[in-house]
Structure 1
Amino acid sequence: MKKNNSLAEGPDGLVYTARLPLSSATLNWLSCLIRGHLKKIGSRWRALSAGRIAGIVLAVLRCDQRPGDLAGGNGVHRTTVSRWVREVVWLLAAGCWLLAAGCWLPAPRAWTAH
């Protein structure tokens, strides 16, 4: 009897699709934010378009997908997906500086205990 040591999924691994409950406005807004950032830093190209990057990052953030699972199906490395997630979180945080600054302001007198 011969041993079968080959992978069950084949050489490319198992790829699956999932539907994200997101509006197209959210995806378009985030892809425009990414596109503007890439233009600002002078990035000549990325492995995927800004729209595909936005979809992958939202899948990681919204559905708690592992970057390695999404990377294989899209032809990029796990660390690339992790870097995209960090960049997008940084972009979102940079856009909320007013909200973050409000956390450091003293609370109004009505909110403090007497």
Structure 2
Amino acid sequence: MFTFLLIVQTIIAAALVTVILMQRSEGGGLGVGGSSSGFMTARGAADFLTRSTAILGGLFVVMSIVLAAVAGISREQARVDTSLVNQSAPAAPADVQPVAPAQPQPAEQNSAVPLAQ
């Protein structure tokens, strides 16, 4: 069920991106010319794309809430992978000597710059 809803959510998101990118930034919508009457004039296309954006945006929000609810309801018990618990770390080769960390050098007393007050 969750996988199906996730696929539907993905399709809605792709359609929403497509509809948004089809709109002109000036609000003309598709930039389609043609006769002054009819559905697919520049004004009709802008109205269609605006309504489509609102509907797809609403569906996206509703699907997000539904997916969150389904994920919360069908939560499985957390499982910890214990397959590596009894394995030990590989031993270092005998010819490699461990490197000791470097000792910090003491700072000179007169080299400090006082902070301005």
Global fold match (TM > 0.5): no
Q: Which has the larger radius of gyration?
A: 2
Of Structure 1 and Structure 2, which has the larger fraction of its residues in helix?
1
- Normalised by the size of structure 1, how large is the TM-score? 0.29
